[in-house]
A and B are shown apart, each in its own frame.
Chain A
């Protein structure tokens, strides 16, 4: 797989953590904007891997994430940029996050890999 650096030094991008509050939703938005810009500036026909690991996300965060993914899908389809592949990590027995990953897969043409992980203490502060 030809993976290009999203930030010159790194080869992939990880978005993880718990986003529940206004402040942390701003942080999540920043990361998603960063991802969006990286895709826009990427070399055509390469694969950009973005790993998500979000143990908790409130309904506003989910709406924001889906809107970003749809936007990403649009620039992927309409412009000559790299192709985005999503590693969607969700914890064992977490039907909420599993469903969200499946919904992103359903609503976009992005390649979403569903990866189940072990359950662990939910809150990792952002």
Chain B
């Protein structure tokens, strides 16, 4: 069965109840653009305002989404044989009883896979203080590579108290799928 068959055979009501049960606030699949990013953030921010969750948590969610979108925007990999022709990234924001979950995914070159994995593994073991020091050092130096200094990843790690998990799934000899699962606790 193809993805399209599965989609066509699913009752919209089933999809809707599934989304509501998962308390999914927002989901997006496509190629982010700078204009689209601003609209997505605007929408998520408005959704968050309807809750009575602590402002600090709302701000953290927005900040993480900003960095996640920028990250996907700068690292998106166009796929010629993609199902929709326009679906190389995914972003989902959901709410749980304990906080918020931000999940992202995008294709990356296998060449950059190792450095990305290494950078994230380095961040995972840092304490809050060490993360702050790393963050300040990156902001101070202003040093960045062609696609950023990894500052976005540091920001996401800090704002989630390092509740960040990553996964790299090898798709082909050229490509891997990079996903991030970030938890922002109340």
Q: CA of A62 to CA of B54 in the docked complex: distance in angstroms?
A: 25
Question: Does chain B have a CB within 8 A of A34?
Answer: no
Q: How far is the CB of A33 from the nearest CB of chain B, in Å?
A: 16
Q: Mark A23-59, 1 if CB is under 8 A from B, else 0.
A: 1100000000000000000000000000000001011
Contact of B41 among A59, A62, A123 (CB under 8 A): A123
A56 to chain B, nearest CB (A): 7
Contact B34 A22 (CB under 8 A): yes
Judge whether B23 is part of the interface by a CB distance below 8 angstroms.
no
Which of these, B46, B56, B66, B155, contacts A93 with CB under 8 Å? B56
B45 touches A96 (CB 8 A): no
Are A56 and B41 in touch, CB under 8 angstroms?
Answer: yes
Q: Is B144 an interface residue (CB 8 A)?
A: yes
Of the residues A18, A60, A63, A93, contact of B54 by C-beta under 8 Å? A93
User: Which residues of chain B come closer than 8 Å to A60, judged between CB atoms?
Assistant: 70, 148, 151
B142 adjacent to chain A (CB < 8 Å): yes
**A125 sits at the interface (CB 8 A):** yes
Complex Cα spacing A94 to B58, Å:
9
With A21-B34, A60-B70, A63-B151 as known contacts, state yes or no: A121 contacts B142, CB within 8 Å. Answer: no
Smallest CB separation, B46 vs chain A (Å): 8
- Residue ranges of B at the interface with A (Cβ–Cβ < 8 Å): 34-35, 37-38, 41-42, 45-46, 49, 54-56, 59-60, 62-63, 66-67, 70, 136, 139-140, 142, 144, 148-149, 151-152, 155, 159
